[in-house]
Amino acid sequence: MILLAALLLGLLAGWGLARRQGRPYRAPPLRHPWLAAAAFLPQLVLGTVPGVQERVPAQFAAAILPASLAIFFLFGWLNRGAAGMPVLLAGLVLNLAVITANGGWMPISPEMASQLPGGSAPDAAIPGSRFGDKDILLRPEDTRLEFLADRFTLPDWIRYRVAFSLGDILVAAGAFWLLLSPRAPMPRHSE
């Protein structure tokens, strides 16, 4: 959700900046955009289609997140010259590192999970159990690269509750920057 919010805000800010400068907004020219869709689709299906999460074996589900991040990294690498893409790539590397180090799942502490919808009291949480579509409940002392885990949440005045990582922040910042950055008008070809 953090990435989708950054994309929407980046589009709105880019459009507003272009309008203020008296020019049309132009989306950044990206190579192989189908890779971004291919990276996002498995996570979308696993996280939003009712009943899918329960039917997908844990080993397969644990492979989906690192695989989709690797595909997204390839997309970012192929577009590494675009504004914001180095920041986005850094975030992907951090997320891929912590997820790979923790068996294909993004770790979240029982304390953080208790602040989210579907979370239970920290002492009732079962370490090692799945939480949501991509997280695994782990105590901080049992988490590899814990400082990269889902350990942040939005301020209390924002009613939507979600946990996110340092990598997520960088991915979102890179996506925002990518869509905000002004692009020069397309050159007109003389006939």
User: What is the domain extent for residue 147?
Assistant: 29-49+57-174
pTM given for the model: 0.89
101 within domain boundaries: yes
pLDDT digits (tens, 9 = 90+) for 80-130: 999 999 999 999 999 999 999 999 999 999 999 998 887 777 777 788 888
Number of domains in the chain: 1
pLDDT digits (tens, 9 = 90+) for 123-171: 777 888 888 888 999 999 999 999 999 999 999 898 888 999 999 999 9
23 within domain boundaries: no
Beta carbons of 3 and 172 less than 8 angstroms apart:
yes
9 within domain boundaries: no
